[in-house]
Homo-oligomer: A and B are copies of this chain.
Amino acid sequence: MLKLYTYWRSTAAYRVRIALNLKGIDYQSMPVHLVKDGGEQHKAEYKALNPQGLVPALVTEGGEVINQSMAIMEYLETTYPDISILPIDAIGQAKTRAMAQMIVSDIHPLNNLRVLKMLKNSWNQTQVDLWYAHWIHEGFTALEQMLQGSNTSFMNEMFPCISDICLVAQVYNAERFNVPLNDYPRLMEINQRCMELPAFKEAAPEAQLGEVK
C-alpha cells in the first residue's frame, strides 16, 4: 500500500490527500508533526527519507520515495489514470498545470510555515499578515481574471483537476489567515463546489481526526 507522509494542516499534503481520494487510491497515513518539538520534519529519521525536510512525501509500493506535491500528483495521474485529474488535450493540460503552478510556486512557498517563521524574526505580526495577504491577492487576482467568461464547473473542466486541488488547499490556508476573499467570486464558487465532494471533504485538515491535536 502507498504510504503518505503528511501533516493535517500542511497545504501541500492536503493537495495530495485530495488527489488520492479523487482517484480512490487507498493509502497509509504517516503523520509528521510540523510544530511539535521544533518539527518532526527536521529530524534525521525523516530527512533520511526526504532530505528537503518537508511534507508530503509518498512512498510507493516498490519503496521509492517521491517528494513535492506536484510531482506526486503527476505520478498518481500516470500510474492510476482511470479517474483523471488532468484534461485530455495538451492545451487543457497546460492551462491546468499553469493555474496549479500559479498557486504552488507563486503563492504558497512565499506564505508557508518556514518562510513566515523567518520573517517573524524581523517583522511584527501586522507586517507578516500584510505580506501573507499580498501574495494571496496577487495570485488570486490573476486566477480570477483568467477564469473570466469561463463556465466550466471547475477551473478548467467539468471535473476537478490538479488546479482545483491546489485552489482548495490554498483557500483553506488563506481563510485560516483571515484574508477576505470576496473579490474572487469565481474562485469561491469553484471552491465551494469542490467542498461538496466527499474526496475533498475527507481530505480536509479538520477531517484528519487522528492527527488533530
Contact = CB atoms under 8 A, between A and B. Distances in A.
Given A52-B102, A106-B52, A109-B106, A78 B93 contact: yes
Nearest to A70: B101
Interface in A61-93: 62, 64, 66-68, 70-72, 74-75, 78-79, 90-91, 93
A25 interface: no
A51 interface: yes
Contacts of A53: 142
Contacts of A195: none
A115 interface: yes
A68 B97 contact: yes
A104 interface: yes
Residues of A contacting B: mostly: helix
A90 B66 CA distance: 11
A60 interface: yes
Nearest to A89: B78
Contact of A105 (B68, B75, B141, B146): B68
